[in-house]
Structures are given as C-alpha cells and as structure tokens.
A and B are shown apart, each in its own frame.
Chain A
Amino acid sequence: MMGLTPYLILSAILLVLGIAIIISKRNAIAMLIGVEFILNAAALNLVAFSRHGVGALSGQTAALFVIVLAAAEAVVALAIFLNFYHTIATVDIDQGDQLKG
C-alpha cells in the first residue's frame, strides 16, 4: 500500500501548475483551465486524506461537493466570458480594463 505522501506531493505540483497557468495565460478560458487544475488538486487531497485519516467517507463526500462547485463555477464563468466576448469581441482579459455598464 502506498502512503499519503506521494498523493500530497502530486497534489501540490498540480496546485502550482494551476497557479502558473492562471498567471501566464491571457485567454480567459485558459485561466479557467488553471482553476480546474487547482480544484482537482484540492479534491485529490481530500480523497487521499479520507483514505488515510479520521472521517471514513467525509473526504470523498467533500470531493463530491468540490466537483459540483467546479461544474457550477465553470458554467457561470463561461457565461460571463460569453458576455465579455459580446461586449468587446475578445476573451483577452487585458482588454477588460474598463468598468462601464
């Protein structure tokens, strides 16, 4: 049986990759991909802890909620990006520097 540490290290690497993607990309959808990386890293942590730790199934249930939240977040974020695209005809977030109604 493998220990907890490899999963935690992989999760940390995925988190850092997600943050790096969010920082480096200017395309809003590519930033959303980075957010998915971060959420998956968190869910992986939860499941690993639930296998090795206190609450037997709490971690898995919490990971389930993470998936639900990620789906809702992706839907709303894409709707916002579509609105953004209709307004200024690009998804380059550097162009979104004017806050007018």
Chain B
Amino acid sequence: MLETAVFFLFATVAVTAGLAILLSTHIVRMAYWLIAMLISVAGLYFLMGAYFLGVIQVLVYVGGVAVLLVFGVMLTSRQQAPKLRPGPGEALWLTIVAAVLLAGLIPSILRVRPEQSALVAENSVADIGHSLLGEFLGPFELASVLLLVALLGAAYLARPKIPVLGAQQKKGTTAL
C-alpha cells in the first residue's frame, strides 16, 4: 500500500512536470521542471529496487545534463526568445497526435500479462559491475569510445571561430 502511494506521488510529479513544460513559456522554468521529472524518475528506480541506477540518474542527469541545459539557456537566450507556444492549428495537430498515440499505447499495455510477479530486489552494485564487464563488455567499451568522441566533437563544434587568427599570429611570433 505504501509502495502504491509512493508510486503515485512520483508519477504525479513526473506527469505534472511534463504538462508544465508543455504549457510553460519560460525556458528556465522548463529546465527546473525537467529536474523535477528526472528526480521523480530516480525515485521510481529506487522504488523498483534499482538503487544504483537511481543514484546514477541523479548524478548524471540532474547533476550533469540538467545543469548543462541551464548553461545552454544562459549562453543562447540573450536576444529575442523563440516562439514557445504553438498556434491554434499546431495545438490541434498536437492534441490529435498525442491522443492517437495514447489510444494506441494504453490498450496494448493493458493487454500485456506479465508472466512473473515482481522479483525480489537482490541485485547489488557488484552484480551490475559483473554484468557490465561480462555480458555487456562490448557495449561498455563502445560507450567509452562514444563518450570520447562526444567530448572531442563537442569541443570541436563549440570552439570559438576567432582563435584561428590568434594561433597564426602566435605561430608567427614563435617563428620570429
């Protein structure tokens, strides 16, 4: 019974955050609602016994991605804000798309009968570590390469355009 109450608490927060982002016109408020959604999903992970995943969710998402988004807002929202509210025609299409998707998804979910009842949470961090370095070793190494590529790509894409001139001047001075 307590589990159901906690689930509905977190689920309400997550759905409220989504609706608030949908209706909000203020980008920083959207980022904070995103943080609320991420924390409530982390709470759901804790509820399901995935403790390590919940911690990682808070660390990486709330501590990394959400802060990155806020930084992105600060760096880009100096001038006229883009349109954040859809026009009436767009809102109509949006409602139709959302309604059709939900009408397709919810009945198919309700027809699913899980074969097992919930497993008792006996998994530990050590088990996840063994799984990562055993069964999922290939994807694990690929993920490390991907992170390196993302790091280099982001640094390359976000570099300022001017320092090319400065580098040439510096090269000239060292040649002298």
A-to-B contact residues, CB < 8 Å: 1-10, 12-21, 23-30, 32-34, 36-37, 40, 43-44, 47-48, 50-53, 56-58, 60-61, 63-65, 67-76, 78-83, 85-86, 89-94
B157 & A76 in contact (Cβ 8 Å cutoff):
yes
Specify which chain A residues have a CB less than 8 angstroms from the CB of B56 in the assembled complex.
Answer: 64, 67
Specify which chain A residues have a CB less than 8 angstroms from the CB of B119 in the assembled complex.
Answer: 51-52, 56
Majority secondary structure, B binding face: helix
A17–B22 alpha-carbon span in the complex (Å): 8
Please provide the 9 A-B residue pairs with the shortest distance between their CB atoms, ordered closest to farther: A17-B18, A92-B82, A72-B150, A79-B157, A79-B154, A12-B105, A79-B158, A24-B86, A4-B114
Specify which chain A residues have a CB less than 8 angstroms from the CB of B53 in the assembled complex.
Answer: 47, 60, 63-64, 67
A26 & B131 in contact (Cβ 8 Å cutoff):
no
A98 to chain B, nearest CB (A): 17
Task: Give chain B interface residues in 1-30, CB to chain A under 8 Å.
Answer: 3-4, 7, 11, 14-15, 18-19, 21-22, 27, 30
* A16 with B105, Cβ < 8 A, contacts A1-B117, A10-B15, A92-B83 known: yes
A1 & B118 in contact (Cβ 8 Å cutoff):
yes
B102 & A16 in contact (Cβ 8 Å cutoff):
yes
B-to-A contact residues, CB < 8 Å: 3-4, 7, 11, 14-15, 18-19, 21-22, 27, 30-31, 34, 37-38, 41, 44-45, 48-50, 52-53, 56-57, 60-61, 64-65, 68-69, 71-73, 75-77, 79-86, 90-91, 93-94, 97-98, 101-102, 105-106, 109-110, 112, 114-119, 121, 123, 127-128, 131-132, 135-136, 139, 143, 146-147, 149-151, 153-158, 161
A61 to chain B, nearest CB (A): 5
B157 & A14 in contact (Cβ 8 Å cutoff):
no
Specify which chain A residues have a CB less than 8 angstroms from the CB of B48 in the assembled complex.
Answer: 7, 47-48, 51
Residue of B nearest to A92 (CB): B82
A94 to chain B, nearest CB (A): 8
Specify which chain A residues have a CB less than 8 angstroms from the CB of B76 in the assembled complex.
Answer: 28-29, 81-82, 85, 91
7 further A-B contacts with Cβ under 8 Å, apart from A20-B97, A72-B147, are A4-B112, A21-B22, A23-B90, A36-B34, A51-B121, A67-B56, A78-B154
A52 & B22 in contact (Cβ 8 Å cutoff):
no
A14–B86 alpha-carbon span in the complex (Å): 20
B69 & A78 in contact (Cβ 8 Å cutoff):
yes
Specify which chain B residues have a CB less than 8 angstroms from the CB of A2 in the assembled complex.
Answer: 3-4, 7, 118
